[in-house]
Structure 1
Amino acid sequence: MGASLYKLAFFILLAINARSLPFAWHLRVFRPVFYINARRVLAWLRARLSPRPHLAMDAWYERIPPVGADPFALVIKYNSWVAPDDGDFNGHLSNSSYGKSFDAARFKAALVFMPAFLRVGGWIALGGTHYTFIREIPIFARYELRMRVVGWGDKWFYVVGRFVSLPAKSSKSKSKAASEQLKADTENTSSSSFKASIRTPANPLDTLSASPSAVELVAGSGSSTPTPSYALASTPEPDGATLHCIALSQLCFKHGRITVPPALVLASNGFSRPPPSTGTSSTSSETEAEAETEAQGIEAEGDGGKVEAYSHAHPPPHWEHVLALRSAAKGGSTERYVRFLRGGWREVPASTSSPTPSTSTSPSEGDANGDANGDATANGDAQNGNAQNGHAEGHANGDATANGDVNGHAKANGDAKGAETYPGGRWWEDALGGPIEVTRAANMVALDGLRAGMDAVRAMG
């Protein structure tokens, strides 16, 4: 009898801590991959019935990226709950457990945002994560993690996760009153006394008012009234959800050990600014990883009337350049796309004007680039297959080679083999221009400030 009780207690303890067992984290994180692979197998079986299976699979892969979506409007949701093994001694979600859910949500978002990049061997390096804890989440409570892109630079890419809990249906009508009450409470917190605590307060304003002098530093004045940003952080979400925590991740895109620019990754996965004459993004609806992320075409009012938004049926102008890189039906291949990610993009000269589709490129000074007819230029102009300025020696079959002779290819200084041409200019920069660039630049002011602050803390030793 005693042995049976011990066994029962053991299995109960095991069940309570099931989400902390070995490989449980891996199952949570990679669960979306299992789902996508199941869909891929079904697509492969259907493709076997096609006269050209490889083209059918290629078309299926190209239907996955969110073509025409606004990177700042797309929100990915991850739902979870506070298991007993995730709680602390106060009966709340432990601060150390937020990262487990954030890992899973971040990976789920990556599969939606950049499926084509991950499919060809790309990976994402985590450079840092910053948390701001606002409200506690009780044990057994359900919560939602909302992932959104907030900015990127030449190397770093930033995503924000907002831990929220949805109110009960009966309490939704009270959310507006609660929001107004929180704003009123904000104005009465300057006289609070300091109280040391290791708990995450139910009301974040308790923490903000604990040290009036700290608030003065943030406000930049002699007043101890918290800044509006703190008040906003403690108010419910627009849909009435309660905000518990904000997490910011700093990421870097890699292929092997090569860093890939975030703008190139986003544009090659379909993200784009809205069409001309539209003032809204083409895809503002929230997208789930389990759902097909095909952007739906809508009509928006513009200065010139109704303009169809970008979608798979009506792709943005730069999409033809993406398909030319990796779609077999358009003359591309996975290998060509990988070469472009790993440095081929550097061969595309920067342009101050918007790129237009073309079949040839203009020679530029200091570059050895082949045109659409297989002619290469070395430090100058090449005409009719002859390279000039004393840097090209010999030619074969109308192709100019620099410092060598390579049949059918351009070779610069003996280092480039099989040089390719990439028409269209830097289409990825144009694809994310306009209102997308305006939002990105504004967000990067705050994000660069955060990075500078962390660098200063690191220098403190």
Structure 2
Amino acid sequence: MAAIIGSVTTSFKKEIRIFQQYEVWSRILTWDQKWLYIVTHFVQKGSVKQIDLETHKISTGKTFGNCGVTMSEGSKEKPVRPVVFATSVSKYVFKKGRFTVAPKRLLRASGLLGEGDKTGEFPAQCQDQGLKITEATMGKNTDDGSDLEIGRAIEEQRLRGMKYAKAWAELDTLHEELLSEHETSDCVPTIGSFSDIAGYGISYH
């Protein structure tokens, strides 16, 4: 099975200076029947504290690292926000031959959706309408570890991420904006043609 990247868009917030060290943090944003959306943040090195490494825990059975000093309860001091240089959103499709594998099948097989067969799955009408699963619907106590509560928490996060994925998907319509109707059957008007480097044949129109 192959993971194929469909597209990626990056928005820069701050300059990344030459030779400046930075870290790349990625997380699952959301998924639908076809695409898995990943959001990636380029941040200043050391500005994000990791609690643990799941890969280390799986391979050794031991925890790794900690989150450092935690804020005391009732403290009015605001936590320090990480310095974000840029944010990227990418989408992946999974193929087995010509067959498209739904992302939720891979997530469940990877153990990321809990142990229940229905974890993370909710009625289609809830998903289509993008209904937000609130704390009230999840129950007052969501720490009991049950598959139902885990599934509801996962679905809440998926629906939160879907609003960004839908807005980003609107950019796909720009593929049709290269040429207008009259330009497809006539010459394209341009302001000028400029060579980048002499001898390389690169020009901008």
**Under a length normalisation based on structure 2, what TM-score does the superposition of the two structures give?**
0.52
Aligned residue type for 1:124:
A
Aligned counterpart, 2:124: none
Closer, same or farther: CA 167–255 of 1 in aligned 2, 3 Å: closer
Aligned counterpart, 2:102: 261
In the alignment, the residues of structure 1 paired with residue 172 and residue 105 of structure 2 have an alpha-carbon distance, to the nearest angstrom, of 27
Percent identical among aligned pairs is 27
Closer, same or farther: CA 431–155 of 1 in aligned 2, 3 Å: farther
Closer, same or farther: CA 245–257 of 1 in aligned 2, 3 Å: same
Q: 2:37 aligns with which of 158, 170, 173?
A: 158
Q: Does 1:133 align with 2:18?
A: no
The answer as to whether partners of 1:267 and 1:432 remain within 8 angstroms in 2 is: no
Aligned counterpart, 2:167: 449
Which ranges of structure 2 fall in alignment gaps of 5 or more residues? 48-78, 117-139, 179-205
Aligned residue type for 1:148:
R
Closer, same or farther: CA 432–447 of 1 in aligned 2, 3 Å: farther
How far 1:128 sits from its partner (Å)? 0.1
Aligned residue type for 1:255:
K
Q: Going by fraction, where is helix more abundant, 1 or 2?
A: 1
In the alignment, the residues of structure 2 paired with residue 438 and residue 303 of structure 1 have an alpha-carbon distance, to the nearest angstrom, of 15
The answer as to whether partners of 1:150 and 1:159 remain within 8 angstroms in 2 is: yes
Closer, same or farther: CA 239–270 of 1 in aligned 2, 3 Å: farther
Post-superposition CA distance 1:74-116 (Å, at most 9, x none) = xxxxxxxxxxxxxxxxxxxxxxxxxxxxxxxxxxxxxxxxxxx
Aligned counterpart, 2:137: none
In the alignment, the residues of structure 2 paired with residue 124 and residue 135 of structure 1 have an alpha-carbon distance, to the nearest angstrom, of 30
How far 1:261 sits from its partner (Å)? 0.1
The answer as to whether partners of 1:156 and 1:250 remain within 8 angstroms in 2 is: yes
SS of corresponding position for 2:87: strand
In the alignment, the residues of structure 2 paired with residue 161 and residue 149 of structure 1 have an alpha-carbon distance, to the nearest angstrom, of 9
How far 1:124 sits from its partner (Å)? 0.5
Closer, same or farther: CA 268–432 of 1 in aligned 2, 3 Å: farther
In the alignment, the residues of structure 1 paired with residue 17 and residue 164 of structure 2 have an alpha-carbon distance, to the nearest angstrom, of 31
In the alignment, the residues of structure 2 paired with residue 265 and residue 457 of structure 1 have an alpha-carbon distance, to the nearest angstrom, of 31
How far 1:137 sits from its partner (Å)? 1.5
How far 1:148 sits from its partner (Å)? 0.5
The answer as to whether partners of 1:273 and 1:434 remain within 8 angstroms in 2 is: no
How far 1:438 sits from its partner (Å)? 2.1
Closer, same or farther: CA 147–239 of 1 in aligned 2, 3 Å: farther
Closer, same or farther: CA 239–441 of 1 in aligned 2, 3 Å: same
SS of corresponding position for 2:105: helix
Higher-Rg member (1/2): 1
Aligned counterpart, 2:181: none
Q: 1:434 aligns with which of 142, 152, 163?
A: 152
In the alignment, the residues of structure 2 paired with residue 303 and residue 131 of structure 1 have an alpha-carbon distance, to the nearest angstrom, of 38
How far 1:258 sits from its partner (Å)? 1.4
Aligned counterpart, 2:112: 271
Aligned counterpart, 2:90: 249
Runs of 4+ in 1 over 3 A off after TM superposition: 430-433
Which ranges of structure 1 fall in alignment gaps of 5 or more residues? 1-121, 169-237, 276-301, 311-315, 317-429
SS of corresponding position for 1:241: coil
In the alignment, the residues of structure 2 paired with residue 446 and residue 254 of structure 1 have an alpha-carbon distance, to the nearest angstrom, of 24
Closer, same or farther: CA 439–130 of 1 in aligned 2, 3 Å: same
Aligned residue type for 1:165:
Q
Closer, same or farther: CA 303–434 of 1 in aligned 2, 3 Å: closer
SS of corresponding position for 1:434: helix
In the alignment, the residues of structure 2 paired with residue 134 and residue 252 of structure 1 have an alpha-carbon distance, to the nearest angstrom, of 28
How far 1:431 sits from its partner (Å)? 9.8
In the alignment, the residues of structure 1 paired with residue 80 and residue 38 of structure 2 have an alpha-carbon distance, to the nearest angstrom, of 21
SS of corresponding position for 2:167: helix
Aligned residue type for 2:29:
V
**Higher relative CO (CA 8 A, sep ≥ 6), structure 1 or 2?**
2
Q: Going by fraction, where is strand more abundant, 1 or 2?
A: 2
Aligned counterpart, 2:176: 459
In the alignment, the residues of structure 2 paired with residue 254 and residue 241 of structure 1 have an alpha-carbon distance, to the nearest angstrom, of 36
The answer as to whether partners of 2:108 and 2:114 remain within 8 angstroms in 1 is: no
In the alignment, the residues of structure 2 paired with residue 252 and residue 123 of structure 1 have an alpha-carbon distance, to the nearest angstrom, of 8
Post-superposition CA distance 1:340-364 (Å, at most 9, x none) = xxxxxxxxxxxxxxxxxxxxxxxxx
